[in-house]
Amino acid sequence: MRPLLLIAIIFLNACAAQLPTSERLERVRLAKQEALAQEMLTDNLQFGAPSFIRVFKSEKLVEAWVQDQETGRYVPFKTYPICNYSGDLGPKQAEGDHQAPEGFYAVGAGQMNPWSSYHLSFDIGFPNEYDRTYRRTGSNLMIHGNCKSEGCYALTDPAIEEIYLLTEASIANGYNVPIHIFPFRMTPPNMLKHADNKWYPFWQNLQDGYNAFERTKIPPNIDVKNGRYIAKLKNSPQKRLF
């Protein structure tokens, strides 16, 4: 192992002591973390750099992006298939509707669950401020393993292991991880295909955040104002939380 990579992993493992852990997670870390860090290094990416997750419902894909430390822009690292998700296209509205959320979320240390009944999981942060504005209810909405879903996004166990380690490493280094969940890739042709859907105005609002990232390759700051998401472009690297 390269000396700088070894130092980085030791540092992150020390920081990870502040994050929840379990015997299962420690086994996963031992089996996969070094290889994952090496794989990132071959792509000129740093394990523990800020990461970003995009979810596309209709394509049944989860994208993991990592910040390039030289440019500050995010580059695609890996794409993982979604085994299963609940419901149809459109946002979650109420507890028990078996609908998987759409919108802009973020995950921090308190949302990581290494004891999950679904191998490993993290809570996406539903309901967020936008959801609460519309009195949407629900709890324990996760990205997790085990390929089973009841309102969540389910991946294979090997896939969630990698995404969990990436997310945990970013958080251990002081960065919350944005999660942007879309019904589909919000290109003009795809938007046109869904123009008659009742959720089209909501999706137009989501498209603002989609386009902001596509333009800059930096996740925008997301605010909520007057019942709408407001995507604010960021032109500088993400700052640590501490």
Q: How far is CA 236 from CA 69, 212, 216, in A?
A: 11, 14, 10
What tokens appear for 26 in the block? 């420690």
**15 is known as an active-site residue:** no
Give me the catalytic one of 119, 144, 147, 194: 144
What tokens appear for 50 in the block? 């800020």
**152 is known as an active-site residue:** yes
Give me the catalytic one of 83, 152, 180, 194: 152
Q: Which residues are catalytic?
A: 144, 152
